[in-house]
Structure 1
Amino acid sequence: MTFMKLIEETLKKANTPLTAEEIWEKANDYGFVNELKSNKGKTPEKTISARIYVDIKNGNNTFYQESKRPTKFFLKKLQSNVDTQVKVNTNSSQNKRTFRERDLHPLLSSFVYSDSHFKCYTKTIYHEKSNKDHKGKNKWLHPDIVGVYFPYEDYNANTIDFIDTFRENNLKVFSFEMKCKVDYANFREYYFQAVSNSSWANEGYLVAIDFEDKEELIEEMLRLNNAFGIGIIKLNVENIEQSEIIIPSRINDSIDWETVDRLIEVNPNFKNFVININDVAKSNSKTIHKDVFDKIFSDSEISRHIKDKKIK
């Protein structure tokens, strides 16, 4: 069996697009490697990738590249199977998705509370509780979730007194825009929504559990982040602590007080959030009353919440 035949037979039997590494692994599982007459070499997956690229470049119709990140290949003659499968999966996913963006808030709250970069307490902002104003004035004003980092939990009492002596304040405030799925088609709208309602804070983020796997989307993320500074967070439903900051937010040393003042005027949740921060910062004990912020779920509560809300 030649390398080309091995690749073709492996993809045919797997009946799904595979990376070069996966093709080699599957070929081993199927026993095709034992039939290989060519020298395997030290990096057979690179040989597989090279052979496929040459075949595609030469205009042959045996293989095609299905995706870029990760790079996956498949057989041209079976492409209709993939298109059908994607369509079925998409429809199935849309039919089964019953959870809302707000159902993801506890997951984000747990992540940013435990993550060393944030270590913050959060507060959900219910835009429906805002004062009603003329249509369109407060569009994209409200962040979904706001957070605050209190440095006091990391310092002893003497350090806190020393901070007060120098009138320094190391508080940080965060703003988060939550979405379920982000793809190339909706990314710009979602991103500029986050720019509008999150750039007032020290750090602002667009958050989702599902990002489309497209190189064009990553490139657009980087381009807009470079221009506007909003970061990207991907929540990991399987393991919240393994959630990641895909692109960090630009750090703003100063806060947009005009937007803060406007949010305080129109939304009671945000007003209480600010009052609670002031209470902690101005108190001698710097005691943080956790019950005034969003609840931090335990591992078992997170698992139950994900199951009850059917979050996937």
Structure 2
Amino acid sequence: MKRLSYTNIVIKPEKKETISFHERDLHPLVTRFINTNQHFKAWKKTIFHESSSNTKKGLNEWLHPDIIGVYLPFSDYEEVTLKLQKSLSLSAVKLFSFELKKELNFSNLRHYYFQAVSNSSWSHEGYLVISKMAEDPDFIDELRRLNNAFGIGIIKINTDSPEESEILFQSFVKSELDWSTINRLVEENPNFKQFMEDVEEDLQLRKIKGKYDKILSDEELDAHIKTKKLSFSHY
């Protein structure tokens, strides 16, 4: 009986799936989602960390969110309601903070989640936005526990159809803003400062004129998804 030889058999290691696109390639998808989703209906601006002032190493770590957004109630409220809010020193305006990551799993969960906790301390609502995540029950339970304890919401972006993205866990809503951190962000980052100036101007004019991130048309968005290979069917 002929014996089999295994000396020439080469076992190839399992190929690990890698995601080639950059986090910022996802920004147009996030823009579409938070502008059209009924919970947000927000105008968004990308914050470029590299444009911040040069300070001591580590001083600005976990200070800047990737994305900031604002809900302005002009299309939802009548003029008399807006005037009454102003007279009563009340406002329906809401500020959002978003930390964006390509992939979330047990190995990076705590690092990314607490980065979002730190970067979102100034806002009414803070979210960790991801395009791919572990789906096992233990992982979902841990996300739920962190959400219950620290209040950061989780959004899963649908890279094929952004408007079908999901808010997996809702953010806690803070009634008071952290004005000290807002002022520091205004001092440190010109993108953040421009955003706040635009929000203030729009509130005075009662119309949207600010330089927020462009909302791509359906055709532009489809082309962007294909060009950047954002759909996970490519992997």
Q: How does 1:23-102 map to 2 (within 5 A)?
A: 87-88=14-15, 91=16, 93-94=17-18, 97-102=19-24
In the other structure, the counterpart of 2:118 is 196
Q: Secondary structure at the match of 1:199?
A: coil
In the other structure, the counterpart of 1:211 is 133
The question of whether the paired residues in 2 share the 8 Å contact of 1:123 and 1:294 is answered with yes
Q: Taking structure 1 as reference, are residues 112 and 197 closer, same or farther at Cα in structure 2, changes over 3 Å only?
A: same
Q: Taking structure 1 as reference, are residues 287 and 199 closer, same or farther at Cα in structure 2, changes over 3 Å only?
A: same
- TM-score normalised per structure 2: 0.90
User: Which of 220, 228, 252 in structure 1 is aligned with 2:142?
Assistant: 220
Q: Give CA-to-partner distance per residue, 1:188-220, whole Å, 9 cap, x none.
A: 100000001012210000001101122221111
RMSD of aligned Cα (Å): 1.7
How many residues end up aligned between the 2 structures?
221
Q: Taking structure 1 as reference, are residues 85 and 243 closer, same or farther at Cα in structure 2, changes over 3 Å only?
A: farther
Whether 1:120 aligns to 2:42 is yes
The question of whether the paired residues in 2 share the 8 Å contact of 1:184 and 1:216 is answered with no
How far apart, CA to CA, are the structure 2 residues paired with 1:105 and 1:85? 37
User: Which of 60, 77, 96 in structure 2 is aligned with 1:155?
Assistant: 77
Residue identity matched to 1:299: D
- Deviation of 1:86 (Å): 10
- Deviation of 1:256 (Å): 1.0
- Deviation of 1:161 (Å): 2.6
Q: Secondary structure at the match of 2:69?
A: strand
In the other structure, the counterpart of 1:165 is 87
How far apart, CA to CA, are the structure 2 residues paired with 1:179 and 1:266? 23
Q: Secondary structure at the match of 1:207?
A: strand
In the other structure, the counterpart of 1:287 is 207
In the other structure, the counterpart of 1:311 is 230
How far apart, CA to CA, are the structure 2 residues paired with 1:118 and 1:86? 45
Higher helix share: 1
Unaligned runs of 5+ in 1: 1-83
Whether 1:252 aligns to 2:174 is yes
How far apart, CA to CA, are the structure 2 residues paired with 1:298 and 1:156? 28
Residue identity matched to 1:150: L
Q: Taking structure 1 as reference, are residues 154 and 98 closer, same or farther at Cα in structure 2, changes over 3 Å only?
A: same
Residue identity matched to 2:38: S
Residue identity matched to 2:228: K
Whether 1:145 aligns to 2:145 is no
How far apart, CA to CA, are the structure 1 residues paired with 2:153 and 2:70? 17
The question of whether the paired residues in 2 share the 8 Å contact of 1:194 and 1:205 is answered with yes
In the other structure, the counterpart of 1:302 is 221
How far apart, CA to CA, are the structure 1 residues paired with 2:109 and 2:48? 23
* Identical positions, percent: 46
The question of whether the paired residues in 1 share the 8 Å contact of 2:160 and 2:225 is answered with no
In the other structure, the counterpart of 2:8 is none
How far apart, CA to CA, are the structure 2 residues paired with 1:188 and 1:150? 32
How far apart, CA to CA, are the structure 1 residues paired with 2:127 and 2:213? 18
The question of whether the paired residues in 1 share the 8 Å contact of 2:103 and 2:130 is answered with yes
- Deviation of 1:116 (Å): 0.3
Q: Which has the larger radius of gyration?
A: 1
Residue identity matched to 1:210: K
Q: Secondary structure at the match of 1:264?
A: helix
- TM-score normalised per structure 1: 0.68
How far apart, CA to CA, are the structure 2 residues paired with 1:160 and 1:247? 30
Q: Give CA-to-partner distance per residue, 1:146-202, whole Å, 9 cap, x none.
A: 000001221233332333333321110000000001111111100000001012210
User: Which consecutive segments of 4 or more residues in structure 1 shift more than 4 A?
Assistant: none
Q: Taking structure 1 as reference, are residues 276 and 300 closer, same or farther at Cα in structure 2, changes over 3 Å only?
A: same
- Deviation of 1:85 (Å): 11
